[in-house]
């Protein structure tokens, strides 16, 4: 559907909300995707999908209700609004949740965030087959159980009864490959992924070689003695670790009484060398966001500044509750209520060179298992299965597997030994972080 059709539907929905004596906003999500997977030399999956979902939030008498529809005929949209109003009537009273004022119109540049991709579907199919063929032909590789090529274009719209409108479209192409290798009764499942806005940015040969290299290395991996080690995570898993505990920055969890940092704004919560910010306007990241899910402008927000908790992340409701500025971190899908979420987490560079960061003995962790089931985000305690390399002075000495890394995340922030002077994107390009060397981390072999 053309954008003007969605805008017409939005006017229809919001007019019905207003005529019912309510205020509200509408979130619309569209996505078109291509998904490919290879198996045994053949194309096992060739899936093309297209989706569109409308989600309305109606606020009346200080009560908010939501409803969604995948159909966009007038009857379906009317039913959606009516259901949201019914849901609002039974919701709890919250005078802080309303529709933020303002009638701004925000639009991103499709040429930057959703560029034309000259790579044909046939070439993408050839890539999927090539990766599977090359890896399964390698010594000790049994198969490639997880592999895929994807091309997704997603568009999000926000409309409000105050007259605010926002639209953004983004494209992400990705390739992943995870190979199962066996040798002398040992198995290893390892792989990598690559994400970019254009398919021609992806280095297919690197994916093949790196996947194979990791498989061979982990086949030789063994547990190490249980004790405390200095630990460095690779870019992917350092970002994953912080993502697990991202609710530490949420003003919504603070309002709900389940955020241990609720009363620590303005206090030291980490070493002085640590600065963490939400950086939605970094267009090199694939989670760039000009606006949040209330349609409000975003901005770079220093969450932790020199170890001090500077602010929590807010939407309009939590900002009103705590009587603080809104940081533009509203998060809402068509199917969900108003929440808080980070856009692109960034850890500022420290002043430690790579050679100093990797001096002496340390454990480099390149795989974590049980990230959510093994973590208590309220207490900060965690216990994850892990694999990696025992290293000394920047050199990998031996692969390590069948170990457990455990500790308390909030305490780890106060036991940082060093922060590197170079930032690295994680594979999904959703987090840009300097590497952190954590001191005295418990490892069980």
Hey, how many other C-beta atoms are within 10 angstroms of the C-beta on 372?
Answer: 10
Q: Among 247, 189, 227, which residue's Cα sits nearest to residue 375?
A: 247
What residues contact 164, with CB distance under 8 A and at least 6 apart? 25, 100, 102, 103, 104, 105, 158, 295, 296
Alpha carbon 394 to its chain centroid, in Å, reads: 29
Alpha-carbon span 76 to 350, nearest angstrom: 54
Average pLDDT over residues 43-72: 98
Q: In the structure, what pLDDT confidence band is assigned to residue 20 with cuts at 50, 70 and 90? A: very high
0.85 surpassed by pTM: yes
Q: What is the mean pLDDT of the chain?
A: 98
Whether residue 64 is predicted with pLDDT greater than 70 in this model: the reply is yes
Per-residue pLDDT band at 4 (split at 50, 70, 90): confident
User: Each residue of 384-399: pLDDT tens digit?
Assistant: 999 999 999 999 999 9
Given this model, what pLDDT does residue 3 score? 74
Sorted by sequence, the CB contacts under 8 Å of residue 121 that are 6+ apart come out as: 34
pLDDT (tens digit per residue) in 256-306: 999 999 999 999 999 999 999 999 999 999 999 999 999 999 999 999 999
User: SS3 of 345, please?
Assistant: strand
Q: What is the pLDDT of residue 1?
A: 65
Cα 24 from Cα 60, distance rounded (Å): 9
Six-digit token pair at 121?
Answer: 């579907």
- Whether residue 61 has pLDDT greater than 80: yes
- In 3D, which of 145, 148, 141, 134 has the Cα closest to residue 208? 134
Q: Domain residue spans in the chain?
A: 3-218, 222-445
Residue at token pair 């999908």: 49
| Site of tokens 């060397």 | 437
Q: What is the assigned CATH class of domain 3-218?
A: alpha beta
Instruction: State how far the Cα of 25 lies from the Cα of 132, in Å rounded to an integer.
Output: 46
For the record, the structure tokens of 86 come out as 């019914």
* Phi/psi of residue 89, nearest 5 degrees: -60, -25
Mean pLDDT of 234-253: 98
The pLDDT of residue 445 is 87
Q: What's the Cα-to-Cα distance from 170 to each of 5, 9, 117, 308, rounded to whole Å?
A: 20, 22, 12, 34
| Torsional class of 92: left (φ above 0), alpha (ψ -120 to 50), beta (otherwise) | beta
Beta carbons within 8 Å of 341's beta carbon, 6+ residues apart:
246, 250, 313, 329, 330, 331
DSSP string, 152-198: EEEEEEEEETTS-EEEEEEEEEEEEEEEEEEETTEEEEEEEEEEESS
């Amino acid at each position: 559907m053309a954008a003007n059709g969605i805008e017409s539907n939005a006017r229809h929905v919001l007019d019905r909300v207003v005529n019912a004596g309510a205020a509200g906003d509408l979130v619309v999500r569209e996505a078109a995707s291509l998904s490919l997977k290879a198996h045994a030399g053949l194309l096992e999956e060739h899936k093309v999908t297209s989706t569109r979902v409308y989600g309305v939030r109606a606020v009346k008498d200080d009560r908010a209700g939501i409803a969604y529809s995948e159909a966009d005929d007038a009857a379906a949209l009317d039913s959606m609004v009516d259901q949201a109003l019914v849901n609002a009537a039974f919701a709890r009273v919250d005078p802080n949740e309303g529709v933020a004022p303002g009638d701004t119109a925000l639009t991103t540049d499709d040429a930057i965030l959703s560029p034309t991709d000259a790579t044909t579907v046939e070439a993408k199919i050839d890539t999927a087959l090539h990766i599977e063929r090359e890896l399964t032909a390698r010594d000790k590789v049994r198969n490639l159980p997880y592999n895929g090529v994807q091309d997704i274009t997603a568009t999000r719209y926000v409309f409000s009864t105050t007259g605010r409108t926002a639209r953004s479209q983004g494209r992400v192409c990705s390739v992943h490959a995870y190979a199962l290798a066996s040798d002398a009764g040992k198995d290893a499942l390892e792989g990598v992924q690559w994400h970019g806005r254009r398919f021609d940015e992806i280095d297919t040969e690197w994916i093949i070689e790196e996947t194979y290299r990791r498989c061979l290395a982990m086949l030789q991996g063994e547990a190490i003695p249980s004790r405390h080690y200095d630990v460095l995570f690779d870019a992917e898993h350092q970002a994953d670790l912080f993502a697990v505990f991202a609710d530490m920055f949420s003003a919504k969890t603070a309002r709900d009484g389940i955020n241990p940092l609720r009363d620590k704004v303005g206090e030291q919560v980490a070493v002085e060398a640590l600065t963490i910010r939400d950086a939605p306007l970094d267009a090199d990241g694939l989670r760039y966001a000009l606006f949040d899910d209330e349609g409000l402008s975003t901005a770079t927000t220093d969450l932790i500044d020199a170890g001090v908790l500077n602010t929590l992340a807010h939407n309009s409701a939590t900002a009103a509750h705590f009587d603080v500025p809104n940081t533009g971190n509203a998060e809402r899908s068509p199917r969900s209520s108003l929440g808080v979420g980070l856009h692109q987490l960034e850890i500022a560079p420290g002043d430690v060179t790579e050679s100093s960061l990797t001096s002496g003995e340390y454990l480099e962790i390149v795989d974590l298992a049980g990230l959510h089931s093994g973590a208590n985000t309220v207490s900060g305690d965690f216990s994850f299965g892990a694999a990696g390399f025992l290293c000394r002075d920047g050199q990998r000495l031996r692969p390590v597997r069948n170990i457990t890394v455990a500790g308390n995340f909030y305490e780890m922030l106060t036991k940082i030994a060093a922060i590197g002077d170079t930032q690295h994107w994680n594979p999904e390009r959703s987090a840009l972080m300097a590497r952190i060397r954590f001191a005295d981390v418990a490892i069980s072999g």
